[in-house]
Structure 1
Amino acid sequence: MPDWLPRFYTAAALIDARPLTAEEMPEHVFEALVEGRIGEIDLEEIDDTVPIEEPEISFAETRPGLAQRPLRALALARLCRALPLAEDLARWLAPGTITVIACRPAGLAGDLAIVLAQLIEAEHPTRKLNLVCSSGRAHAPETKPLDAVAGFWKDALAEGRGAHLLILGDAAQLPRRMARLLPPVLQLGPPDREVVAAALSLGDPGPLTGDCALPPDAALARLGADAWRLALRLPDLAGRAAELRRLTEVAAAGTKEAGPVLEDLCLDGPVAAAARRLVADIAAWRAGRIAWSQMTRSLLIHGEPGTGKTWLARAVAGSAGLPLVTASLAEWQAAGHLGDMLREMRAAFARARSAAPCVLILDELDAAGSRASGDRHAVSYRAQVIAGLLQELDGVLGLEGVLVLATTNDARAIDPALLRPGRIDRVLALPRPSPAAVRAILARLVAALPVTLPGASIGGADLDRLSRRATGRSPAELDAALREAQSRAREAGRPVAAADIAAALGFGREDPAVLRRVAVHEAGHAVMLHHTGRGRITGARIGMGGGHVAVEDLPLLDTRAGLEDQLACCLAGRAAEELILGAPTTGAGGGAASDLGRATQLAAEIERGYGLGAGLLWQADPGAALATDPALAARVEAHLQRALRRARATLIAERPRLEALTARLLAERVIEGDPFAAPRTAPADPRWGAGAGADAAAVTAPAAGSPTHPASTEARHGGA
């Protein structure tokens, strides 16, 4: 038996035994007056209230006890679990004490206020208390929640010997100026099985099994106040339990319709762990086990287009059972001029505040720009947008219950003031899915395909072949390919086959020459990364569309020598093509994210961003200055040429290792983990080639004590 249950039964008996005095009208009359249902009141009932000179009448004889009022019994159970000793309540009533309770769901705050007032009347009838409830029936219907809070604050600041107690609902948030001065808020989380069982036991002490079994805690946490009222209106235990099970199923179905949950996504790595921790923290906060200030309240998810950033944010909301408020910079800007844009921005944040607890998704955060950008076009507009966004973020993050999840394709384009901790608590990279995740995504998509005609099914071997060739594709690409495959199958009048998916993914005939060039290129990157110790290689893959090498634990702070190592690693793919195949191709260039693009930007930053080149002059966007500054362009070109020569010299010395890794990539296509890590078993894989096993197993670790980035990062390299 929980240690708070004796306190609950004692308190329930005291409340039920309270006498009805002349000053107290019947409960249903009082409630009708407070709720504005005057037409339902029989005026004779008011006239028939007990006169002062008559003796007290037993409470049990005049109105139902808590056993017939399960919502109030539930409120009392939650209160007694939070205050398991009678002395705990007495401390609240000490003269001058100020106590704030946050009740979830908000609609149950009124019942909590009534029960608390009744318990105080029964146990401490002489204590003076200022009790205010900002949500529910403890204040007049015309009183706004914030008015009630303001009135409470005014009374608390006034001189007086009484105690002050404020009950908040989720929709009535405590203003920041008050929150900073008041004691920590007591979090009364949503009802769970333990408190529900205690409340129902007052009317029926039978076991909660079989037809009377209650749903799990996570399901009960999704129920709003109306659902609790609907379920507990029924007179018998079995009916109440059955209705709770039905309503939790309805709530779960509504959550699935609103969006995915984390189990629907095939995530792995640091981002998956962070998302699961966030959902667990929200559950702990809603249960009152942790304070809102103890958890991550804002997150920026960045990654390439199509990796599922917004989908992940929606899945966090779905798994946490929180409503979604979505907004994007593009939507705000489409509203019109600056004033319209700022109005839409404020409206989105206002919706989040009124919907708390909720998840606010801010898509395309980079569209706000940065005040440090070298682009002087519309600089005043950009500064005002960022200032407005900073103000709104500060306002919403100071409240309990609003989790902000922002997304972007380019975190570097966001103003630094937006990214500081306190506004964005954490920045997470969402890479393209790993080989295992690709297979899981394909398996989930295939399992959802309708099979309306007889024909061949897609088996495990088909999925293995498809996922092997699809590694490196984004979830959006895989999803689009499955839709295209269904269209092809419908046209042919048959179920979807593996060949349809392969065709939709663009898997035509593989060209051995192209695959070999891609393997040489990626092997060059990997060998140079291994040689310089620039991070820990976590995998490599190749395909007809290119390849990449994934790296974690990149240095957080770098010297000039470290940046030159990075330049050499960027250009090692091109150097490997020159060394092994005689000439490079366009695979090292083509865009800002390509090997040449990244190397050029890094070399420019060495000169004009980090002060590690010929001078200390700083520029906001050194890469953009290359077109107008011939001297800077010449120095950047010199950096690139030195890096290419160094990479070529290193690969000449490491040629056996380079050729061995090329052969392995051609044979396996996907390598998970560090390809140069020592194998756990003695024999080297024969696919590495004769005589290459010892070299392939050798490890060159990063220097001891070198700083590493705390978060996992995937470094992508251009393919052929």
Structure 2
Amino acid sequence: MPKTTNTNAPWAPFARTILRRLHESEDDSSFDLDIDMDGDAIAPRSKRTPPGVIELLDGMDSTQKHDPRDLAAMRAAGVDGVALDDRGSDRPPHTIATGKILMALRLAATFIREEHFLDALEPRAVTVLEGIVPAQLSGAATLIGRLLVPEGWTAHARAPRHMDSGVLQLLRPMDSGARKISEQAIAKIEQEILTALTLPHPLMILLPETALLPPELRRVLPPAKRLAPINRDLILKLLGRTHSATGKIDAALVRPHLPDNEVLTTLDMPSLMSALREPDASAVAHKLTALLAPSANTSSDMTLEEIGGDTPTHQAARDLVTDLAAWRRGEAQWTELSASLHLEGEPGSGKTLLARAIAASARVPLVEGSFGNWQSGGHLGDMLREMRRTFSQAASRRPCVLFVDEVDAAGSRESQDRHAESYRRQVVNQFLQEIDNLRRGEGVLLIGATNHKDALDPAILRPGRFDLHHSLGRPTQVQILHMLRRALPEATEPDLAMLARVFSGETPAMIDAAIRAAKAQARRSGQLLRIQTLIAARPPVLEGYDRRIAIHECGHAIVASLLGAGPVRRMQLSRDGGR
């Protein structure tokens, strides 16, 4: 018999219970499911009708009404027979907002069993649930109060002094802006949590990613539960309610076309809503895969594999991507990972390119900020506001990569330069605070870049702020060859090797600019780009220049070795000298 949906999900029975209550509530015109706690208590319907035996059996994933041979034939034809009712329709009998269904499923997957949720209603119990998008806080609170709390209970933002029935203190940041939570809202909920802790009623706190509570408050609260991420099982259950007349779909037909679980963690609501407009579950799966597929790479979003670096810096970047993937699969704790990297290198050495490649390889969003952009916001208050906005954006888009450029512009509080000393101190203090707030959460790789590491405040560079420190020097011959193969795919290997020697010692930005200029010139003249033409266009080198530079750098290497200053691993010649 063909499988219908995955029956191995341990939360599936609890999800069926919650979804049944959701349907009953939506069908009851006298009961407003959408009232939230802004001034109103949230309570379930006064009476919940227990399901009959036939209804329970029919709701199980393994049951279906069609002949198995007919289902096999329909599957071979690409038709989901499991979703069809007796009339051949796959439309659900009632339409419920997708956001409600998805949140109900994620809550079921978070608590797994109803007994586990009821444990949160024990006297003086405290539960912290985080990872909720700010725009979905109100809906999550409403569904918990309407569908999860048992009869006779009520959820309150402010617990009444006297009440005979059970009371769940259900707190969340509330703000006029539905899509972001202000600092005032966070400060307010901090006080509400302290007040709620003094009362004997159970307490449940709903937090968005951006709500970073003070360390002293975090310390007294239990470890937070994380709202279950969207995965294949959740999408299959969702499709059973949006694209099926029976509440079930043929998982064997649909599952292979869905994106992997790791990719689905990046699913945004616009993509989901767009995909759900497709006519059947299989088409939705195909659309999701297409929407979440990585876009064609350009020079600004190459992957680490395409960059092809062979230095310790590039290996550290690959390790960050590997560790982030392990954390997203649940195979590693965030506290076990190095989650920050400081890059040092001269302009054009590829620091920004490497940060973008880390995000592209990890298939997570990239949030970019720089001290130059922040300072262009205006006076000190404007600058600090822009800095906070960038860090807040990164926190709201977890998992992601946050890249902060021009970190050396922050300066150092230990600088002997007394000009603008107060300004510099406030900027550094705010930057340190933002990093600390970010590191209290999980899911953000912090990458900083600077041209002058020595100009930075020591507190910025210490472990816990930036754990890893690497330099990006000028590329080796192997790296230059890799760049040239990608930029000039039709060139022969001997020509590329000759061109690599010409470009030796130059930064990636210099090489890229030279190739782009040569291609533009060839296009304007209506000719093909030839390697010999590109080499001839390079500025001539003075006779004997390479020899003099080589002798000079060898002298440095000999002295360094004799004095034990450090190991000499590489010497390099370039048009602007040696190193």
Instruction: Call closer, same or farther: CA 1:116–1:159 in 2, change over 3 Å.
Output: closer
- Find the counterpart in structure 2 of residue 444 from structure 1: 486
Q: Is the 8 A contact 2:210 2:392 kept in 1?
A: yes
Provide the rounded CA distance (Å) in 2 between the counterparts of 1:326 and 1:495: 37
- Find the counterpart in structure 2 of residue 26 from structure 1: 28
Report SS of the residue matched to 1:279: helix
Provide the rounded CA distance (Å) in 1 between the counterparts of 2:413 and 2:212: 32
Q: Is the 8 A contact 1:146 1:172 kept in 2?
A: yes
Establish whether residue 15 from structure 1 lines up as the match of residue 7 from structure 2. Answer: no
Structure whose alpha-carbon radius of gyration is higher: 1
Provide the rounded CA distance (Å) in 2 between the counterparts of 1:19 and 1:492: 68
Q: Is the 8 A contact 2:321 2:362 kept in 1?
A: yes
Query: Deviations for 1:43-71, whole angstroms, at most 9, x for unmatched residues?
Result: xxxxxxx997x99586989xx89997765
Provide the rounded CA distance (Å) in 2 between the counterparts of 1:244 and 1:413: 47
For 1:539, give the aligned amino acid.
R
Instruction: Call closer, same or farther: CA 1:280–1:192 in 2, change over 3 Å.
Output: farther
- Find the counterpart in structure 2 of residue 308 from structure 1: 350
Provide the rounded CA distance (Å) in 1 between the counterparts of 2:169 and 2:486: 57
Instruction: Call closer, same or farther: CA 1:458–1:534 in 2, change over 3 Å.
Output: same
Q: Pairwise mapping of residues 280-319 of structure 1 onto structure 2 (< 5 A)?
A: 280-286=322-328, 292-319=334-361
- Find the counterpart in structure 1 of residue 130 from structure 2: 102
For 2:223, give the aligned amino acid.
P
For 1:93, give the aligned amino acid.
L
Provide the rounded CA distance (Å) in 1 between the counterparts of 2:169 and 2:224: 17
Instruction: Call closer, same or farther: CA 1:268–1:96 in 2, change over 3 Å.
Output: farther
How big is the shift at 1:35? Answer: 12
Report SS of the residue matched to 1:5: coil
- Find the counterpart in structure 2 of residue 246 from structure 1: 290
- Find the counterpart in structure 2 of residue 478 from structure 1: 511
How big is the shift at 1:212? Answer: 6.2
- Find the counterpart in structure 1 of residue 547 from structure 2: 516
Instruction: Call closer, same or farther: CA 1:86–1:497 in 2, change over 3 Å.
Output: same
Report SS of the residue matched to 1:165: strand
Instruction: Call closer, same or farther: CA 1:123–1:468 in 2, change over 3 Å.
Output: farther
Decide which moves more: 305-314 or 122-131. Answer: 122-131
Provide the rounded CA distance (Å) in 2 between the counterparts of 1:385 and 1:114: 41
Q: Pairwise mapping of residues 671-710 of structure 1 onto structure 2 (< 5 A)?
A: none
- Find the counterpart in structure 2 of residue 156 from structure 1: 196
User: Which structure has greater helix proportion?
Assistant: 1
Report SS of the residue matched to 2:310: coil
Establish whether residue 187 from structure 1 lines up as the match of residue 226 from structure 2. Answer: yes
How big is the shift at 1:409? Answer: 0.7
Provide the rounded CA distance (Å) in 2 between the counterparts of 1:124 and 1:235: 41
Query: Deviations for 1:76-118, whole angstroms, at most 9, x for unmatched residues?
Result: 5545555556654344333222121223655566665566556
Q: Is the 8 A contact 2:33 2:142 kept in 1?
A: no
Provide the rounded CA distance (Å) in 2 between the counterparts of 1:316 and 1:397: 19
Q: Is the 8 A contact 1:214 1:245 kept in 2?
A: yes
Instruction: Call closer, same or farther: CA 1:105–1:261 in 2, change over 3 Å.
Output: farther
- Find the counterpart in structure 1 of residue 59 from structure 2: none
Decide which moves more: 326-335 or 223-232. Answer: 326-335
Query: Deviations for 1:278-306, whole angstroms, at most 9, x for unmatched residues?
Result: 33444455556655554444432111121
Q: Is the 8 A contact 2:134 2:181 kept in 1?
A: no
Which of residues 269, 272, 281 is equivalent to 2:314?
272
Provide the rounded CA distance (Å) in 2 between the counterparts of 1:373 and 1:51: 65
For 1:146, give the aligned amino acid.
I
What is the TM-score normalised by the length of structure 1?
0.60
- Find the counterpart in structure 1 of residue 382 from structure 2: 343
User: What stretches of structure 2 of length at least 5 have no aligned partner?
Assistant: 39-43, 57-91, 154-164, 242-246
Instruction: Call closer, same or farther: CA 1:147–1:509 in 2, change over 3 Å.
Output: closer
Establish whether residue 231 from structure 1 lines up as the match of residue 275 from structure 2. Answer: yes
Q: Which has the higher contact order (CA 8 A, sep 6+)?
A: 2
* Seq. identity, %: 31
How big is the shift at 1:153? Answer: 1.1
Provide the rounded CA distance (Å) in 2 between the counterparts of 1:538 and 1:67: 67
Instruction: Call closer, same or farther: CA 1:213–1:134 in 2, change over 3 Å.
Output: farther
Report SS of the residue matched to 1:406: strand
Q: Pairwise mapping of residues 449-464 of structure 1 onto structure 2 (< 5 A)?
A: 457-464=490-497
Which of residues 384, 388, 406 is equivalent to 2:448?
406
Provide the rounded CA distance (Å) in 2 between the counterparts of 1:491 and 1:51: 74
Q: Pairwise mapping of residues 51-90 of structure 1 onto structure 2 (< 5 A)?
A: 56=49, 74-75=102-103, 78-79=106-107, 81-84=109-112, 88-90=116-118
- Find the counterpart in structure 2 of residue 538 from structure 1: 569
- Find the counterpart in structure 2 of residue 608 from structure 1: none
Provide the rounded CA distance (Å) in 2 between the counterparts of 1:304 and 1:245: 40
Instruction: Call closer, same or farther: CA 1:345–1:290 in 2, change over 3 Å.
Output: farther
Query: Deviations for 1:168-205, whole angstroms, at most 9, x for unmatched residues?
Result: 23344445443233222223353123443455467334
How big is the shift at 1:248? Answer: 1.5
- Find the counterpart in structure 2 of residue 500 from structure 1: 533
How big is the shift at 1:307? Answer: 0.3
For 1:309, give the aligned amino acid.
K
Which of residues 219, 223, 227 is equivalent to 2:263?
219
Establish whether residue 429 from structure 1 lines up as the match of residue 432 from structure 2. Answer: no
Query: Deviations for 1:374-410, whole angstroms, at most 9, x for unmatched residues?
Result: 4444445444443444444444544555544221111
User: What stretches of structure 1 of length at least 5 have no aligned partner?
Assistant: 37-49, 448-456, 548-716
Instruction: Call closer, same or farther: CA 1:262–1:78 in 2, change over 3 Å.
Output: farther
Provide the rounded CA distance (Å) in 2 between the counterparts of 1:301 and 1:535: 21
Provide the rounded CA distance (Å) in 2 between the counterparts of 1:315 and 1:55: 53
Total equivalences in the alignment:
513
Instruction: Call closer, same or farther: CA 1:366–1:522 in 2, change over 3 Å.
Output: same
- Find the counterpart in structure 2 of residue 93 from structure 1: 121
Provide the rounded CA distance (Å) in 2 between the counterparts of 1:298 and 1:542: 32
